[in-house]
Structure 1
Amino acid sequence: MREIIFDTETTGVDPDNGDRMVEIGCIEMIDRVMTGATYHCYYNPERPMDPGAERVHGLGDAFLRDKPRFAEKTEELLEFLGDAALVAHNAKFDFGFLNMELDRCGLAPVDYARMVDTVAIARRKHPGAKASLDALCTRYGIDRSHRVKHGALLDAELLAQLYIELTGGRQIGLGLGSQSGDAGQAVQTPTSLLPTGPARAPRHHAPNDEELARHAQLVADIPGALWSSGRARR
């Protein structure tokens, strides 16, 4: 099963009030194993950056001024997304901005049926606990020491690791054949975990005559053995 873990950065929090997407980062995962395929792009939002948003992700007007507009990169983004399920943290926020940008291009929105929200998964699994990305990375021991500011691709990479933990942990894919994940999908053993090299011939483990004789003598020399006194019971 192909899934895309993604994150966005924006000029603010409300796409209905004119805020725009300025960055998207995507990680491809197949059968809950990261393939190494990614997609990342910055966008010129054609509007000023909100100072509060800039403090979060560090993307200012000067940096974004020469970046492509969303409409110029839409085709390659949609090609990467394909028809995969789309996993995001607080996914309605990211879907809202993605669909707003698609609507501005005159394109159909991404179906919310494809949405997988890791906040909702975390709240079901840990009721009452903090469900922020930072808090969950701490809970599962995911290293985020290199995360000084938010970044779409960096946060997507952290979220991919978290998603694996939330849906079964690092044990996924360690079996020697197909097994069933939390959602019932078949999970294949990663190629890197399969044995390599020539097969070893089976070793002979049956005892020889000398070993059988020594064992018989050992048993005969056991004092008070039940099997030699007729007192053995079932």
Structure 2
Amino acid sequence: MSRSILFDTETTGLDPLTGDRMIEIACLELVRDLPTGVTFHRLIDPERDIDADASRVHGLTRADLQGKPKFADIADELLAFIGDAPLVAHNASFDFGFINAELARAGRDLVHLSRKIDTLDMARTRFPGLPNSLDALCRRFGIDLTERTSHNALLDCRLLADVYIELTGGRQRGLSLASEDGQTMPTVTYHASATRVPRLILPTPAEILAHQAFVTRLKEPVWLVE
């Protein structure tokens, strides 16, 4: 079983080194890069105020987090959930910075950066010179954004799971694969995007120009957009 964890955080501000804290974490289990439906989601008391700019982004206030567990109270449960799996996030350095700051404060071992898979880096490689925020990628891949009225860690994980599937080449629903020992694996059905209508995605003139600029940097390219 190839297990990875896709995750997202919300915070009191932008920099854990200046005292900003995590206020929400959501994790979504992937097996062979497909969501299993198994999740971990917690709101966290940051033990400090939340910057007004941050509240405008995620919609959470200090009052919303009164009575929620502190990070030290959920640290072991979080570590048990993620295990030793690779960790997928969008702009992963930001989220890794906050998780490791919280783990250090709670006296736990840090998450090694070798486990990091950054979908922002993947998107920049695939779409050089184009906007690659989560919203931009959802629009590019035709992923429904109507529920995203504010940043919510669990919803962002579900959207990012769709994006990650597209960035890694896409998967057919109900695809059966053979395991390494030659046995047929159980059919995996992906429901998160079941209501999404497939559509042809055509490059814009700006995307074509960006592709041409990228290809010219390759040695003896075998394809060009005329």
Q: Which TM class, normalised by the smaller chain length?
A: 0.7 to 0.9
> After superposition, what is the alpha-carbon deviation per residue over 1:135-185, rounded to whole angstroms, capped at 9, x for unaligned?
000000111111110011110111111101100113387255359xxxxxx
Alpha-carbon distance in 2 for matches of 1:89, 1:113: 16
> After superposition, what is the alpha-carbon deviation per residue over 1:50-78, rounded to whole angstroms, capped at 9, x for unaligned?
00000000110111111110001111110
Please tell me whether Structure 1 or Structure 2 has the larger radius of gyration of its CA atoms.
Answer: 1
Alpha-carbon distance in 1 for matches of 2:107, 2:188: 43
Aligned: 1:96 with 2:92 = no
Is the contact made by 1:142 and 1:158 (CA closer than 8 Å) also made in structure 2?
yes
The 5 Å alignment of 1:106-145 reads 106-145=107-146
> After superposition, what is the alpha-carbon deviation per residue over 1:83-116, rounded to whole angstroms, capped at 9, x for unaligned?
1000000000000000000000111110000000
Q: Partner residue of 1:191? A: 187
Q: Partner residue of 1:168? A: 169
The 5 Å alignment of 1:152-163 reads 152-163=153-164
Match of 2:80, SS state, is helix
Match of 1:16, SS state, is helix
Q: Which amino acid aligns with 1:31?
A: R
Alpha-carbon distance in 1 for matches of 2:121, 2:60: 28
Seen in structure 2, the aligned counterparts of structure 1 residues 47 and 192 have a Cα distance that, compared at 3 Å, is closer
Is the contact made by 1:32 and 1:164 (CA closer than 8 Å) also made in structure 2?
yes
Is the contact made by 2:92 and 2:117 (CA closer than 8 Å) also made in structure 1?
yes
Q: Partner residue of 1:208? A: none
Q: Partner residue of 2:43? A: 42
Is the contact made by 1:90 and 1:118 (CA closer than 8 Å) also made in structure 2?
yes
Seen in structure 2, the aligned counterparts of structure 1 residues 128 and 78 have a Cα distance that, compared at 3 Å, is same
The 5 Å alignment of 1:199-218 reads none
Q: Which amino acid aligns with 2:140?
A: R
Alpha-carbon distance in 2 for matches of 1:87, 1:64: 26
Alpha-carbon distance in 2 for matches of 1:192, 1:93: 32
Alpha-carbon distance in 1 for matches of 2:155, 2:33: 18
TM-score normalised per structure 1 = 0.76
Match of 2:7, SS state, is strand
Is the contact made by 1:173 and 1:190 (CA closer than 8 Å) also made in structure 2?
no
Q: Which amino acid aligns with 1:120?
A: D
The 5 Å alignment of 1:22-33 reads 22-33=23-34
Match of 2:98, SS state, is helix
Aligned residues: 186
Is the contact made by 2:176 and 2:186 (CA closer than 8 Å) also made in structure 1?
no
Seen in structure 2, the aligned counterparts of structure 1 residues 123 and 88 have a Cα distance that, compared at 3 Å, is same
Match of 1:191, SS state, is coil
Match of 1:155, SS state, is helix
